[in-house]
Amino acid sequence: MASNGAPPSRPPSSSGEDSVPILPLRNSVLFPMSVVPINVGRPRSVRLVEDLLGRERALVGVISQRSPEIDEPTFKELYTVGTIARVVKVIRLGPSNYSVVLNGLGRFRVKNIVALEPYMRAKIERIPESLVRDVELDALGTGLREATREVLQLMPNLPRDTAGILDNVREPGALADLIASNFPQAQASVADKEEILEAFDVKARVRLVLAMVGRQLEVLRVKKEISSMVQEEMGKSQREYILRQQMKSIREELGEAGEDDEIEELRERVRRAKVPADVEKVVKKQLGRMRSMAQQSAEYNVTRTYVEWIADLPWSKTTVDRISVQEVRRCLDEDHMGLEKVKKRIVEYAAIRQLRADKKGPILLFIGPPGVGKTSLGRSIARAMGRQYERIALGGVRDEAEVRGHRRTYVGALPGRILQALKKAGTKNPVLVLDEVDKMGVDLRGDPAAALLEVLDPEQNATFQDHYLDMPFDLSQVMFLATANNRETIPPALFDRMEVIEVPGYTRTDKLGIAREFLVPKQLSAHGLTDERLEFTEPGIATLIDHYTREAGVRGLEREIAAVCRATAVKLAEGNAVIEVVSPEHVEKVLGPHKHRPEIAEHNLEPGVATGLAWTPTGGEILFIEATKMPGKGNVVLTGNMKNVMQESATTAVSFVRSKAGELHLDPEWLKNIDLHVHIPKHGTPKDGPSAGVTMFTAVCSLLLGCPVRSDVAMTGEISLRGRIMGVGGVKEKLLAAHRAGIKHVIIPARNRKDLEDVPQDILDEVKVTLVNAMDEILPLVLEPPRQTSVSTPPPLA
């Protein structure tokens, strides 16, 4: 390594190579003919400066770094062209911290590396400056000087003598270096300035600087134009503000300031709300009326409340949507297990918003049994998209004004729930959940469902008009989500405006996962417990699912988990050192005997009893249909709180059996001397729907033939007098109910084949599904050999 000798006392020649110390610059470029102070604090640079102490006018090579993040660069991290500079002054700022004033002399190129320690040294080659002048170069220099002078005129904060310096520098190359060295860092990066430093040709250098100045000049011109436009627009409002301040001072002198302060505060709130021009016109009129009213009058308070509502509504405030599809999918997976169709639709919406920012908000309707997470989906969607969330409960609402608001002529008038929710959300693009839209009522005060027609129509809700506000409000950016248990009670016109997404019940596997991942941690935290104190095992959770709950959702399961947690919390509160494991035995000890047994195990099917499947607003259910006969005169009795459609299905089933008596090996007049009684247990529950027709037909045939129905078979389907089996709804919910009850074989109409695509594969693996087209296909599948036959003929349809 070379010795650390003193720097040369004379400038290096332009033809030979000289060894000089190298000082790297992190965030700037030193140009020839410029004097710049540089703070030095890095170890190598400090050693270089300390070696220069007392040797002012010594020479040093200054080179910029390619990347400012490197603390101790090598020659590979430096540019190859730098500036040879003379040390003018060294100022000690503190321990290992100096300020060095450097005067740039000329350009050089690094030829050979001499040393890295104790500081960088290299052999350099000086680049002589060309002094040849021609007409083109003079024209470029003049253009550069004029453009720079124009930039200085558009930047009033610069010192006044800056323009005079331009006239003192006559050489175009030196002028370009001077302008580049003083150009702000924000407008010219180190790489841009280094490109100018490496431009040895004077014309090329002037062109580079001229282009840089031209870009800055264009930016300043546009900035000035924008500033002028803004000043013109704000001129009127500023004049109004000054006049109001003067009026305020006059009223203060007259002792009338209190009345005006409130009006001015309302005016300022409306201004900050950035209301549309037509709304601002209405507000000005109302504020003008308030000036002529007494503050104690009722009309003054009504008008003030009206203006306050206008000021508080989010006319222009929105939240920025999170448009990352991966982030939306991650948030939905964190909060909900399963529900793939719902998640897929939300991800699709996020993808469309990612491609088109002006897409209107969708209106989704989640239909499903209670406890499956319909309402909580709205909160998850809002979190996933970065929007505000509000919920509007519509169950039991009977007044149209709850949606559209009351007219201001009424005492105590208020806007409707839609605008109230937007005020709470504070933005005009929140996620609004309209909960229980199927439970709205109708009375003399109007139909709230009809009032929702405009709210939930994407083509109309951009101009939604609340009766209280009496002016349009844009709801097109709101993402509406509605929930319902029963689609039958939703008015058709309202139902048509929404995109329906079925949210079915959970399978046993889903419930195990939900309990393990969500419900158990939530309840442990809510009861002040940890999994070290109370450990839920999978068999214990399975016992809660199988024997203590019977539901499509998980609300009851969460209550039972909470009951187990409470028992442990009581023991801990009493001072006992409790460490418990939730096993099936522990569950039975805490909750008592099993509340539910498999429904198929509850009975031993006799002839005349068949198992059907029904859909209810709370999910699928097992439905037992019983038939018996007694001496009589041919009457058919139907009991079990059946409604009209189900009674017609029972009548159709009996009529079909009578019409096919010969094929079933029955006496054609078998109903002549008996009365037939068809019954459905659970009298307190109203029952309706056509899907029990197949089950009623099977029960009647089983009774008359003396053949019991297989206990592990359930069925559903609508029948016709021609013997056809027509499709039904709620197939997925019915199959889930059959699986919960232990059914191994389910018979459904062939027309419902497409519905099997929505059924989880683990259900189809455990439950055999048979598709049938006609009623004569059913009996061979469901009947067992007769135990005691009342007729002498063999079983039908062998």
What is the set of active-site residues? Answer: 691, 734
Q: Which SS3 state, helix, strand or coil, does residue 711 take?
A: coil
Which residues have CB under 8 Å from 183's CB, separation 6+?
193, 212, 213, 216
Q: What is the largest CA-CA distance in the chain?
A: 136
Residue with tokens 């959770």: 541
The total of other beta-carbon atoms located within 10 Å of residue 655's CB is 12
User: For residues 59 and 80, is the Cβ–Cβ distance under 8 A?
Assistant: no
| Tally of CA atoms within 13 A in the half-sphere of 737 that contains its CB | 25
Which residues have CB under 8 Å from 763's CB, separation 6+?
507, 735, 736, 739
SS3 content of the chain, % helix, strand, coil (to 5): 45, 20, 35
Where are the strands (E) in 230-375, listed by range?
Answer: 363-367
What is the separation, in whole angstroms, between the first and last Cα of the chain?
107
User: For residues 594 and 694, is the Cβ–Cβ distance under 8 A?
Assistant: no
Q: How far apart are CA 415 and CA 465, in angstroms?
A: 10
Q: How far apart are CA 667 and CA 72, in angstroms?
A: 107
Which residues have CB under 8 Å from 663's CB, separation 6+?
776, 796, 797
Let me know if 462 is exposed, middle or buried by CB neighbors in 10 A (0-12, 13-18, 19+): middle
Strand partners for 501: 366
Residue 675 to residues 383, 628, 654, 695, Cα–Cα distance (Å):
62, 9, 12, 19
Which residues have CB under 8 Å from 162's CB, separation 6+?
152
- Measured at the CA of 428, the angle between CA 426 and CA 429, to 5 degrees, comes to 110
- Measured at the CA of 573, the angle between CA 569 and CA 574, to 5 degrees, comes to 120
Give the helix ranges, DSSP H, for 120-256. 135-154, 162-168, 172-181, 190-197, 202-254
User: For residues 449 and 489, is the Cβ–Cβ distance under 8 A?
Assistant: no
Which residues have CB under 8 Å from 375's CB, separation 6+?
391, 433, 435, 483
* Preceding omega of 681 cis (within 30 degrees of 0): no
Q: How far apart are CA 412 and CA 424, in angstroms?
A: 19
Which residues have CB under 8 Å from 615's CB, separation 6+?
621, 689, 691, 728, 729, 730, 733, 734
- The long-range contacts involving 302-308, CB below 8 angstroms and separated by at least 24 positions, are 302/408, 304/262, 304/266, 306/408, 306/468, 307/266, 307/270, 307/283, 308/266, 308/269
The total of other beta-carbon atoms located within 10 Å of residue 595's CB is 12
Residue 550 to residues 365, 369, 599, 683, 746, Cα–Cα distance (Å):
25, 12, 11, 19, 19
Q: How far apart are CA 531 and CA 41, in angstroms?
A: 55
